[in-house]
A = this chain, B = another copy of it.
Amino acid sequence: MKFSSKIQKCGLSPIRKFYPYQVEAQKRGMKIYHLNIGQPDIKTPESYFETVRNFSAPVLEYAPSPGMPVTIKKVEDYYKNLGMDIQPGDVVITAGGSEAITFTMECILDNGDEIIIPEPFYPNYKTFIYNTGADIVPIKTSAEEGYRFATREKIEAAITPNTKAIMFTNPGNPTGVVLTPEERRLVADIAKEHDLWIIADEVYREFTYNGEPLATMGSFEDILDRLIIIDSVSKRFSACGARVGAVICKNKDFQAEFMKLCQARLSVPTLDQLASASLYDVDPQYLKDVNVEYKRRRDTVKEELSKIPGLVFSEPEGAFYVMVKMPVDDAEKFLIWLLTEFNDNNETVMYAPAGGFYKTPGAGINEMRIAYILNCDDLRRAIQLLGKGIEQYNARK
């Protein structure tokens, strides 16, 4: 039996493929510190579960294809508070940010089209894009430059006559980079000059740690006809299992195409939408507390990483990730070694090897992504384990 050439270009998750080694290590009684996954440990606001408990309709019916009015309203209000002129039809609820991206790609990308994305990037973008028949052209960055991509030279080097869009996660996964206002403006200008769609994945918007809150790309009024914002409740409210996201776009033609896909899949789950709407009423202190906690974690990670000789990394400014170049031959081999050979008081550590975050073959081979989703004590210990690991790994004969 034959398969699509497009699905065959896709791969399994580069983050999940080390799971068998994890299982084996756990069987041997090892405790593993998980710096490899993006599942936050922050409590989901209680209003989510209250809403679900209070649901009393006798039939669990389909929700409307564009989303439930109450959920749309909350997301509309959220973007109005960010200063955008949001009108009816600009917000559509999706099955997580994932569906928002998938449908966006299906609307705008054709066979042979190209989309430019700063590298390293969220690995699942590959699957979403390759299934349209389009290709990713990476905007090259480096650990030494702090993975910053928003220079005219770097971006324009990736543009070809086939380029249809520029996409980026801001704050960045896996890099932790937050674009400056000037960088955001530059991206907007280049997209205008080259007539490109801008896809701004802003699901980590609240997770910035250097004072300035992140303004949405939607604050530039001159690009609203080409701007597609991806949003989600997953990280903002620690509700990853809700799978409720949104697309925000003021281009009516785009929304008309997007709605074809929404109607075909019928609806997003009814209960999760209702409960997600309630999240937007959470006390603003919740988001402030979460931010303070992550900033503390960020600082802890930075402090501990600074003690390890030979690492190259920059202070992460947002999201809850940091990319680190290590003085090892191969981050995948080192990770397997950590899970099979290394043992410090029956403890070891996992990270995400960065190869899967690159499209360029061989790039990122000695880099890793750390997700700082543990409490500060555990983070400290985890990174100390990394340091010991690097030392022992390189001392092998």
List chain A positions with a Cβ less than 8 A from chain B. 1-8, 10-13, 16, 39-44, 48-49, 52-53, 55, 58-63, 65, 95-96, 98-99, 102, 106-111, 113, 124, 127-128, 131-133, 164, 195, 197, 225-226, 238-243, 251, 253-254, 256-257, 259-261, 263-272
Nearest CB to that of A127 among chain B residues? Answer: B264
Q: Is the CB of A106 within 8 A of B131?
A: yes
A23 to B109, CA, bound (A): 35
Q: Is the CB of A124 within 8 A of B268?
A: no
Q: Is the CB of B263 within 8 A of A13?
A: yes
Q: Is the CB of A98 within 8 A of B266?
A: yes
Q: How far is the CB of A378 from chain B (nearest CB, A)?
A: 16
* Chain B contacts for A133, CB-based, 8 A: 111, 133
Q: Is the CB of B52 within 8 A of A55?
A: yes
- Can you tell how many copies of this chain the complex includes? 2
* Chain B contacts for A265, CB-based, 8 A: 95-96, 98-99, 102, 124
Q: How far is the CB of A181 from chain B (nearest CB, A)?
A: 25
Nearest CB to that of A256 among chain B residues? Answer: B12
A44 to B62, CA, bound (A): 12
A272 to B63, CA, bound (A): 14
Q: Is the CB of B2 within 8 A of A108?
A: yes
Instruction: Given the known inter-chain contacts A52-B52, A59-B43, A60-B44, please indicate yes or no for A128 contacting B1, CB distance below 8 A.
Output: no
Instruction: Given the known inter-chain contacts A48-B60, A53-B53, A260-B11, please indicate yes or no for A1 contacting B253, CB distance below 8 A.
Output: yes
Q: Is the CB of B60 within 8 A of A257?
A: no
Q: How far is the CB of A62 from chain B (nearest CB, A)?
A: 5
* Chain B contacts for A110, CB-based, 8 A: 4-6
Residue of A63, A238, A264 contacting most chain B CB atoms (<10 Å): A264
Instruction: Given the known inter-chain contacts A7-B261, A59-B40, A240-B60, please indicate yes or no for A269 contacting B266, CB distance below 8 A.
Output: no
A1 to B223, CA, bound (A): 11
Told that A12-B259, A131-B261 touch, could you supply 7 new A-B pairs with CB distance under 8 A?
A1-B197, A2-B164, A16-B263, A59-B238, A60-B239, A60-B241, A111-B111
* Chain B contacts for A226, CB-based, 8 A: 1
* Chain B contacts for A267, CB-based, 8 A: 240-241, 243
Q: How far is the CB of A234 from chain B (nearest CB, A)?
A: 8
Q: Is the CB of B269 within 8 A of A4?
A: no
Q: Is the CB of A98 within 8 A of B264?
A: yes
Q: How far is the CB of A147 from chain B (nearest CB, A)?
A: 23
Q: Is the CB of B4 within 8 A of A107?
A: yes
Q: How far is the CB of A36 from chain B (nearest CB, A)?
A: 14
